[in-house]
Amino acid sequence: MTTILHNLQGIVTPADTVGWELNIQAGVALALEDGRIRAIDTPEKLQEMFADARRIDGAGCWALPGFVDPHTHPVFFKTREGEFSLRVMGKSYEEIAAAGGGIRNSVRVFRQASFDELSELTYQRIRRFLEYGTTTIEAKSGYGLSLEDELKSLRILKKVAELLPITIVPTFLGAHEVPDEYQRDREKYVDLIINEMIPRVAEEKLAEFCDVFCEKDVFTVAQSERILLAAKDHGLQPKLHADELFYTGGAELAAKVGAISADHLLKISAEGIRSMADAGVVPVLLPGTTFFLGKSGYAPARQMIDAGMPVAIATDFNPGSSMTQNMQLMLTLSALYLKMTSAEVITAATRNAARAIAREDRVGTLETGKDADIVLLDIPGHEYLPYHYGVNHVRKVIRHGRVVFERQA
């Protein structure tokens, strides 16, 4: 059965597999079939080709590829607004973490919560990504930090992916923090990750990627390397939280181990940029986190673009340092603080984001053969999208050819 998506202003999509040009076509319609884009042409031509097609009303919107959010942490129990208030009063994220708050606080409460309770909360949170036009997310474990609790986290993602019309790409992040019981012997926790967690996660096929929070006072470059090489041996592709709060050489490590992405990168070195560019590591920038932590030194996106890197952006949705599912807001922050054009932020949030999670063959552009994951935005043109900020421009979300979210005008 074919469906024609008609009554659009037109489509806006990254033009090619590389570069920053957009392909903007006014007045076209799309034919969708078997969850894929079958054709893009004039409405008259598509009506002729598919005479008995069903129809989806485009409501006069611009159609873009559904947003891809390549860095999120949605599987947690309690929210942390108390720490937010402390930060507003002047305490830093690092001070709160050093006092046993932050991620370790989330881990303590996570372990007390049941699978069903956590599944329901995760379901509700992930549904909100869809409402803001995101049709694919990468999602990390990392609030369990024991073998059973990390497996629990990844199994919850698997269950939610079966219930919601959104694509969830799972990442194992057992190396998110060192839990309380290993604070005195941190290497022993690294051993646990390598010897027990990674083999089980790989065996049960619960994750595609393995990530490490490589940061001062969290995991060192040497520990991160051990973990990521072990992950690679088990078929989990490396990712890294790198050079966020302090320069550690995380970007250079990402290049060395052949990571698919390195994320944050506020403090990346010139050598880090060069080595990541040479190795083809995707830089995933998280301006919402810099904003929400009240910091000023945003990642050097322009230098990365000048070095030919496929910069991607993400929300970093998590209860500590970035409590939002809204990719549209990330476009605005990227424009203002990463100095990216409207065309660049759209490409960073779609095609390049897909590349950061190895989904560029399926999503991230509107072209024949790709998944019919489409967001309809009620805007006069693409330049308007980052400009009118903090609101939701989504009218409809289509995933695999079906309308899965709709908002009245």
Residues near ligand IZC (CB under 6 A)? 73, 102-103, 106, 213, 241, 318-321
CB of 341 to ligand IZC, least distance (A): 28
Minimum CB distance to Zn ion, residue 316 (Å): 5
Cα angle 356-155-127, degrees, rounded to a multiple of 5: 65
Q: If contact means CB under 5 to 8 A according to the sort of partner, which of ligand IZC, Zn ion, none does residue 213 touch?
A: ligand IZC
Q: Which does residue 319 bind out of ligand IZC, Zn ion, none, counting CB within 5 to 8 angstroms by kind?
A: ligand IZC
The CA distance from 130 to 197, in Å, is 31
Measured from the CB atom, is 103 or 145 closer to ligand IZC?
Answer: 103
**Residue in the block written with tokens 């060069």:** 274
Nearer to Zn ion, 138 or 316 (CB): 316
The one of ligand IZC, Zn ion, none whose footprint includes residue 83, by CB under 5 to 8 A per kind, is none
Q: How far is the CB of 210 from ligand IZC (least distance, A)?
A: 15
Q: Alpha-carbon distance 229 to 222, whole Å?
A: 11
Residue closest to Zn ion (Cβ): 316
Q: What is the nearest approach in angstroms of Zn ion to the Cβ of residue 71?
A: 6
Do 239 and 259 contact (CB within 8 A), yes or no? Answer: yes
140: Cα separation from own chain's centroid: 10
What is the Cα–Cα distance from 214 to 288, expressed in whole angstroms? 19
Strands 62-65 and 374-377, bridge-based pairing? antiparallel
Q: Which is nearer to ligand IZC, 67 or 213 (CB)?
A: 213
Task: Tell me the closest approach of the beta carbon of residue 122 to ligand IZC, in angstroms.
Answer: 14
Contact of residue 320 among Zn ion, ligand IZC, none (CB under 5-8 Å per partner type): ligand IZC
Closer Cβ to Zn ion, 149 or 316, answer by number: 316
* Residue 227 near residue 238 (C-beta atoms within 8 A): no
**Least Å distance between CB 264 and ligand IZC?**
8
Those residues whose C-beta lies under 8 Å from the C-beta of residue 29, and which sit 6 or more positions away, are 4, 5, 6, 7, 8, 40, 41, 42, 43, 46, 58
CA dihedral 272→277→310→338, nearest 10 degrees, is 30
Tell me the C-alpha distance between 221 and 223, whole Å: 6
| Residue 56 or 103 having the CB closest to ligand IZC | 103
Distances (CA, A) of 241 to 173, 217, 218, 269: 10, 13, 11, 15
User: For ligand IZC, which is the closer residue by CB, 102 or 310?
Assistant: 102
* H helix and E strand count, the chain: 17, 18
321 binds, among ligand IZC, Zn ion, none (CB under 5 to 8 A by kind): ligand IZC
Q: What does 106 interact with, of Zn ion, ligand IZC, none (CB < 5 to 8 A by kind)?
A: ligand IZC
Please give the order of strands across the beta sheet that includes 62-65. Answer: 22-26, 10-14, 62-65, 374-377, 394-399, 402-406
Residue nearest to ligand IZC (CB): 320
The region of 129-137, 265-273, 309-317, 329-337 touching Zn ion under the rule CB under 5 A is 309-317
What Rg value do the Cα atoms of the chain yield, rounded? 21
User: Restricting to residues 312-331, which ones interact with Zn ion according to CB under 5 A?
Assistant: 316
Q: How far is the CB of 403 from ligand IZC (least distance, A)?
A: 33
Min. distance of Cβ 306 from Zn ion in angstroms? 26
Instruction: Output 5 or 156, the one with its CB closest to ligand IZC.
Output: 156
Report the interface residues with Zn ion, using CB under 5 A: 316
